[in-house]
Amino acid sequence: MDPLWLAIAFALGLLVKLIGLPPLIGYLIAGFTLKYFGAESDDLIKAISDLGITLLLFTIGLKLRIKDLFHREVWGGASIHMLLVTLVMGAIVFAISFSSLHIFANFDWKQALIIGFALSFSSTIYAVKILEDKSELKSAYGVLSIGILIIQDIFAVLYIVIVAGELPSIWAIGIPVLFVIIRPLLLLILEKIGHGEILILYGFFLALVVGAELFKFVGLKADLGALIVGILIANHKKAKELADSLMSFKDIFLIGFFLSIGLMGLPSFEIFQVAIILALAINVKVILYFFVLTRFKVRARTSLFTSLTLANFSEFGLIVASIAVAQNLIPSDWLVAIAIAVSITFIISAPLNSKAHKIYFYLKDYLRKFETQKRLIYDKTFDIGDAEILVFGMGKLGLSTYNQLYKTHGRKVLGLDYNYDVVQRLKKEGKMVQQDDAADSEFWESTFETSNHHDVRLIMLCMNDHKSNVFAIERLKTTSFKGSIAAIARFEDERKQLEKMNVDAVYDIYSEAGYGFANHVCHQIDIGCEVQQK
């Protein structure tokens, strides 16, 4: 792997980020650029790519509740959607096969269905990156998206077994029993292992050895093993810390994956034409996601956000296509065409997801017409009662803020968070908390336009995602709210943006933490110092 590759990946990743797109788009372009100049994918790129995917699925498992997969809207929505997309995409491909393009030579409806099936998958890697960047992995639509992706991954494994003939070893039946036996030991080690580099090393051991290598040994998909091991320890209190410690490593290794897509091959003009048609057909996939999910009583907002998150083709689609090529079921040119289509949908999907809240705001009146009257229990809105102070984001900072305000204002303080699990846990602790999302325009309409909650005096935005804080402020300023707004910032540019929006109080997490720590020590030790905030 030439150092020039890293330089090109960095330069294009930075350039793409500066124009407001995710850096991964730059890595894709870097792969195609390198391929144009004669570079070839090698064992190192493949190893880095595989490592990134394995760590990704392991960290997904750390954040997943297995019972989420048994919700009807997850397994039912994913299954019905895959069937519909396979048929519709297959029909589209078969329809254009009557053209004179060489890629459609000796083409039949069976090949069209295989390609339709390959295009029915959405990208786990891309979706998780988008959700993590927006800090919405545990939101209602984030959980739903991940659940659908895992169901799709299961279908991919079944396809590999059936078509490629890769039957697992007889020893595979002992894996569940083995995991039941060793799980207490894995949790005990995690409890005792501490922090820092030893925790990171343990994460690699769990993902690559206990998960991936064990599954590979018995003839099962290695990535699936990493996912399952992550699920096994997901309920441990240190699971989040472990996932956070692996995040940077996972992101670096995933660069190899995006480079490898670009290095698959340069398309001829004819293949590029087909790839463009396939990429434009992603609109059909998005519409079907929205329609199917709303039939399962999912809110229009949640359905739209899930659909946009999954508005892409997938690396698993490439795996399906590569196996079909190896079995001589479809021509090899289709692998390059699908790879190009995957890349284009990533580029299309990026700005749609970054503007998702605004897209819904402008389309909500039309989209709500598709909602059912009944709603899912975790996807309902909105009643703040007689609260006078609202604290959004019940992470460490938000919870600490809530606790301090509760001492003075009691039940006039209400905490809000989009994470259903967090809300239920805090409710059991006796806290005044409910599930709502500050980035939900319907919440602000319901609270300050269609209702008369003029008693609210202060709204505190403690969410980690700066874009969500900004969007909430923009929506709030369009309502009848007359109270004060406070928000957190992590960086200087974020603080300046909030101040330009005339936020009443901006809390710079890092500088204010230093002031708070010094002030606390002075009062605790009583050394007579006076700390002034800059």
Pull the structure tokens for residue 283. Answer: 């609109």
The predicted structure's pLDDT at residue 304: 93
Mean pLDDT of 451-467: 77
Fold of 389-525: Rossmann fold (3.40.50)
410 or 68: which leads in pLDDT:
410
Where in the chain do CATH 1.20.1530.20 domains reside?
A: 3-370
Average pLDDT in the chain: 83
Pull the structure tokens for residue 194. Answer: 């501490």
Mean pLDDT of 458-479: 82
The answer, yes or no, to whether residue 530 has pLDDT greater than 60, is: no
Read off the pLDDT band of 453 (50, 70, 90): low
% the chain with pLDDT above 90: 16
- Work out the burial of residue 51: count CB atoms within 10 Å of its CB; fewer than 13 is exposed, 13-18 middle, 19 or more buried: buried
| pLDDT tens-place string over residues 53-108 | 788 778 878 877 777 778 899 999 999 999 999 999 999 988 888 877 777 777 88
| pLDDT tens-place string over residues 111-159 | 999 999 999 999 887 888 788 777 677 677 888 998 899 888 778 767 8
Alpha-carbon dihedral 67, 287, 119, 258, rounded to 10 degrees:
-80
414 pairs with which residues across the strands? Answer: 390
Omega cis (within 30) before 382: yes
CA distances from residue 516 to 336, 391, 400, 412 in whole angstroms, order as listed? 57, 20, 13, 25
3-state class of 375 per DSSP?
coil
Residue 57 and residue 66: Cα distance in Å, rounded? 14
Q: What is the DSSP annotation of 175-194? A: HHHHHHHHHHHHHHHHHHS-
Helices (H), 396-527: 396-409, 420-428, 441-448, 466-476, 492-500, 509-525
Other beta carbons within 10 angstroms of residue 27's beta carbon come to 25
The values of phi and psi at residue 4, to 5°, are -60, -35
Pull the structure tokens for residue 91. Answer: 């029909």
Residue 431 and residue 310: Cα distance in Å, rounded? 35
Strand runs labelled E in 272-365: none
Q: Compute CA 169 distance to the chain's CA centroid, rounded to the nearest angstrom.
A: 33
Q: What does the angle CA 162 – CA 167 – CA 169 come to, to the nearest 5 degrees?
A: 165
Read off the pLDDT band of 245 (50, 70, 90): confident
The predicted structure's pLDDT at residue 161: 65
458 pairs with which residues across the strands? Answer: 389, 484
| pLDDT tens-place string over residues 4-24 | 888 888 898 899 888 867 687
The domain 3-370 is classified under which CATH number: 3.30.70.270, 3.90.950.10, 1.25.40.10, 1.20.1530.20? Answer: 1.20.1530.20
Are 234 and 61 a contacting pair, CB within 8 Å? Answer: yes
Read off the pLDDT band of 532 (50, 70, 90): low
87 or 489: which leads in pLDDT:
87
DSSP state of 393: -
The predicted structure's pLDDT at residue 526: 61
Where in the chain do CATH 3.40.50.720 domains reside?
A: 389-525
| pLDDT tens-place string over residues 344-392 | 898 888 888 888 878 888 898 899 899 887 777 666 656 777 888 999 8
